Amino acid sequence: MVKKSLKKFETRAKVILITGASSGIGRSCALVFAKAGGRIALLARNKNALQSVREEILKDGGDAQVFPCDLSQIDSIPQVIKEIKEKMGPIDILINNAGYAVTGLVEDCPIKEYRNNFEVNFYAPVTLVQAVLPDMKKKGGGQIINVSSGVGRRALPGVSAYSCTKFALNGLTESLRLELKKFGIDVIAIFPGRVASQFHERIESYGRLKLKLPPIKMNRSEKVAKMILQASQGKKREATLWGPGAVGYHLNYWFPRLVDKLLLKRFPI
């Protein structure tokens, strides 16, 4: 019996909202999806950086609009979605990419910093999803793409706050995938590994632990963006760039105590 192949998800003319679009993975996704014909809604705090990305897209013949927004202020999200709809139309693809990391031993990290990390990394994506779903359901299709992390599968010492936000995002992704299947809406998880970007420079560290991640070869944001585009067009459940994080996740399934020992050697606390 020959299996029917899934129909490719068409990117051209789709309205694509990308959070954290001013740099790193978000910026690269904006450029890659615009080249594929998408109409890009650029969202981040830095208006000037977003304008620079927009100009690059327009210069290449693409279509993009700028929507400055601080995702830690989740009450402002519905208004931003309304503005996007008025200027560009209903959103077809939501790429929840924005995020940052809080590090520190559990006993040293202030509770308010856990809350702040959750506001941007989890509650903002949830709020965005709730805002775009009515139109996606009405059209009978769309995509929600959540950019997660390997530490959302296997936590590291000293990274509990960030890890918790990504574990939560993974849970959201799995629940959504089942809830939205009958509406023809794809829900995709992305695991990009360590990426060469400003993300690591913006890590907020608290207490005695001044976390220095072990040096490894980092993935280029352009490579991650191309993987995300392929995952979108192929309507995949998830996509992962192979690396230490992916190896550790699979190894942890069979030998969790061994992974504990390896992590404690690599991340002395």
CATH number of the domain within which 104 lies = 3.40.50.720
Contact 186, 235 (CB under 8 A): yes
DSSP letter (8 states) at residue 9: P
Is residue 3 situated within a structural domain?
A: no
φ/ψ of residue 147, rounded to 5:
-85, 110
> What is d(CA 172, CA 123) in angstroms, rounded to the nearest whole number?
10
pLDDT, average across residues 17-37: 97
> What is d(CA 50, CA 66) in angstroms, rounded to the nearest whole number?
6
Contact 146, 122 (CB under 8 A): no
pTM: 0.90
pLDDT, average across residues 49-69: 98
Of the chain, the percentage scoring pLDDT greater than 90 comes to 71
Closest CA to 159 of 98, 211, 215, 115: 211
Strand partners, 93: 16, 143
Is residue 9 situated within a structural domain?
A: no
Encode pLDDT of 100-130 as tens digits: 999 999 999 999 999 999 999 999 999 999 9
Is residue 261 situated within a structural domain?
A: no
Number of Cβ atoms within 10 Å of the Cβ of 63? 16
Is the pLDDT at 58 greater than 50? The verdict is yes
Contact 18, 43 (CB under 8 A): yes
Q: Which of 62-66, 105-109, 151-155 has the weakest average pLDDT?
A: 151-155
Known active-site residue 162: yes
Is residue 40 situated within a structural domain?
A: yes
What is the count of structural domains for the chain?
1
Is residue 90 situated within a structural domain?
A: yes
At 19, is the secondary structure helix, strand, or coil? Answer: strand
Better-predicted residue by pLDDT, 26 or 257: 26
pLDDT, average across residues 133-147: 97
Is residue 10 situated within a structural domain?
A: no
Mean pLDDT of the chain: 90
Better-predicted residue by pLDDT, 41 or 246: 41
Contact 89, 41 (CB under 8 A): no
Torsion angle of C-alpha atoms 119, 144, 244, 263, degrees rounded to 10: 30
Is residue 205 situated within a structural domain?
A: yes
Encode pLDDT of 187-233 as tens digits: 999 999 877 666 767 788 888 776 555 556 678 889 999 999 999 99
> What is d(CA 113, CA 220) in angstroms, rounded to the nearest whole number?
29
Q: Would you place residue 253 in the very low, low, confident or very high pLDDT band (cuts 50, 70, 90)?
A: confident
Torsion angle of C-alpha atoms 89, 94, 100, 104, degrees rounded to 10: 140
Closest CA to 237 of 6, 30, 37, 32: 6
Q: Catalytic one among 162, 206, 249, 253?
A: 162
Q: What is the DSSP string of 104-130?
A: S-TTTS-HHHHHHHHIIIIIHHHHHHH
Contact 136, 183 (CB under 8 A): yes
Going 33 to 191 to 196 to 98, the CA torsion angle's sign is positive
Domain holding 153, by residue range, is: 15-242
> What is d(CA 217, CA 199) in angstroms, rounded to the nearest whole number?
15
Is residue 35 situated within a structural domain?
A: yes
Better-predicted residue by pLDDT, 221 or 69: 69
